[in-house]
Amino acid sequence: AQVHKLPLNVRSVLVLAAHLGFRFRRDVLETVVTSEYRQVYKDETPRSLKAKFDAVLETAENASILIKQEEGQMFAFVHDRVLQCAYEMVEEGEMKSRLYLNLGRRLLPMLKDDEGIIFLVADVLNNGSTMIASKDTDLQSEVVSLNKAVAKLCMQRAAFKSSAHYLRSAIDRLDLKKATWTKKDLALTLHNRLALATCNCYEYEACQKTVKTILSKARTTQDKQ
């Protein structure tokens, strides 16, 4: 109820924050919000837009909706229910998927200088992936590469279940009709890694299914190994 009593501009920012998670980095939210602001306040300076963002955060903090952490570098919602309230302001379905996709698009440029948000960006884009146009092959490819990279990080950390999740997300975005299923083919690489990940997290049925796919699709004995 507290969230609904806040001004519209504050509620809008809280909705974006809620889709980044319970706890989020200030600079990540600022990137998203100021990008939105630039579409509305086209004649204002970056300094002015930052001031607007700072004022919104201060209002949310004073209303006991958000709490500052790590000397203001991080923020968190005060309670799960507050997060849920802000999150549910956008209906499930197409609207929420579009929101996630827009968030992902705005966060992608940050990855060049900050790989610390790679998991966040992958999750956000995966949540909005149903709204990626089939003709937007560049973004489709970027989402596949992102999931592949995150899956590799999970594998290195022995988080095999998470690795399998991201590998499946990558495979879902591939156009398997164009796959060659040869040694250098991405489809074969992802399926091989998925078989390994599912085996390591004891999902033997899923592993067996993936192996059957590889054996039926791969063209040479070498590719089947």
Asked whether the beta carbons of 163 and 155 are under 8 A apart, the reply is yes
Q: Among the CATH numbers 1.10.3720.10, 3.40.50.1370, 1.20.1730.10, 1.25.40.10, which is that of 132-225?
A: 1.25.40.10
Per-residue pLDDT, 182: 76
Per-residue pLDDT, 220: 64
Q: 28 pLDDT exceeds 90?
A: yes
Asked whether the beta carbons of 222 and 196 are under 8 A apart, the reply is no
The domain 1-89 having CATH identifier 1.10.10: the answer here is: yes
Helix/strand/coil (H/E/C) assignment for every residue in 54-121: HHHHHHHHHCCCEEEEHHHCEEEECCHHHHHHHHCCCCCCHHHHHHHHHHHHHHHHHHHCCHHHHHHH
Asked whether the beta carbons of 181 and 187 are under 8 A apart, the reply is yes
CA distance 82 to 213: 44
Q: 51 pLDDT exceeds 70?
A: yes
Q: 221 pLDDT exceeds 70?
A: no
Higher pLDDT, 167 or 116: 167
Domain ranges of the chain: 1-89, 132-225
Q: 223 pLDDT exceeds 80?
A: no
Model pTM score: 0.89
